[in-house]
Amino acid sequence: MCPGMGEPSTMRGKVVVITGGNAGIGKETAVGLAALGATVIFTSRNPDRGADALREIRERGANEDVHCLPLDLASTASIKAFAAELLGRFDRLDVLINNAGLILSARSETAEGLEMTFAVNHLGHFMLTALLLDRLKASAPARIINVSSDAHRAAVKGLDFDDLQANRSYGSFRAYAQSKLANVLFTRELARRLEGSGVAVNALHPGLVRSRFAGDGDVRGLMGAVFGMISWAFGLSPAEGAETSIWLASAPELSGRSGGYFVQRRERAVSRAAADPAAARRLWEVSVQLTGVGG
């Protein structure tokens, strides 16, 4: 166990949900928190990959209390079904880690007609968090952790509220940067709204990680090739990339600390656009309109 991650029993009795836990950072986060004694529920869009990951996490985490549930963050129906099953099976929720994310070469839409990158990276997690929030409050002290990225700094002009769905103009990295900025704005506004509730909310940048992210044909052509070469040549291992997520979920010294943005277990300043409270409030209002929850 890495320094500062706690003893093997640190998370015993705690229930943790991790989105996108069948590979990469999410899987390593599940392994780490299972090793600390937590009941871990991770999600997977693909049943076969989920089953394979479940076997591996149970073996490596020395903890059989690990579960995989289906979740497609691009589907409102799937999010609602997942939340209903989780709330029906588990009577508490101590940590929610909004980890899943994607980047796409070409613009695509969800069944509801929403731009896919923004929908999966932000709106899906916004909706899921809203549906699970009462259980988190009832389990307080509880924690919400949003996996963002330093890519949010590339959205230097802030969120384009006039074209959030990228109907006028789509660029793969631009859409990704906008969605990661949304993660930070969501974190800050949710932390403000949850003051005094016992639920802390923080965001993090895991670093450049050697994983399946941007793989499986999601990013094609030169950009995909360059991204792959750079990440595999210079990136962290998935286990290293998961360290900050595990620490934010488990470290006793972080109790009550909320609204922060962390890189390598150190708090860092966010971009100017990400520190705009008016943009954070506006994003919340738009997200409520688009998802029908969180009002």
Domain ranges of the chain: 15-290
Q: What is the CATH number of domain 15-290?
A: 3.40.50.720
Strand 66-70 to strand 39-44: parallel, antiparallel, or no bridges (unpaired)?
parallel
| Catalytic residue chosen out of the listed positions 176, 213, 227, 247 | 176
| Per-residue pLDDT at 236 | 83
| Per-residue pLDDT at 255 | 95
Per-residue pLDDT of the chain (295 residues), as tens digits, is: 454 556 677 899 999 999 999 999 999 999 999 999 999 999 999 999 999 999 999 988 779 999 999 999 999 999 999 999 999 999 999 999 999 999 999 999 999 999 999 999 999 999 999 999 999 999 999 999 999 999 999 999 999 999 999 999 999 999 999 999 999 999 999 999 999 999 999 999 998 875 554 445 454 454 544 445 544 445 589 999 999 999 999 999 999 999 999 999 999 999 999 999 999 999 999 999 999 999 8
User: What whole-number distance in Å separates Cα of residue 136 and Cα of residue 30?
Assistant: 19
| Per-residue pLDDT at 232 | 46
Note if 176 is an active site residue.
Answer: yes
Query: Which helix (H) or strand (E) covers residue 193, if one does?
Result: helix 172-193
User: What whole-number distance in Å separates Cα of residue 4 and Cα of residue 203?
Assistant: 18
| Per-residue pLDDT at 9 | 78
User: What whole-number distance in Å separates Cα of residue 101 and Cα of residue 119?
Assistant: 10
| Per-residue pLDDT at 8 | 72
* DSSP 8-class letter at 120: I
61: burial class by Cβ within 10 Å (0-12, 13-18, 19+)? buried
Angle at 187 between CA 186 and CA 189, to 5 degrees: 65
Sign of the alpha-carbon torsion through 162, 166, 168, 171: positive
End-to-end CA distance of the chain: 40
User: What whole-number distance in Å separates Cα of residue 130 and Cα of residue 9?
Assistant: 29
Residue type, position 128, single letter: L
| Per-residue pLDDT at 229 | 52
| Per-residue pLDDT at 62 | 73
| Per-residue pLDDT at 221 | 52
User: What whole-number distance in Å separates Cα of residue 120 and Cα of residue 125?
Assistant: 7
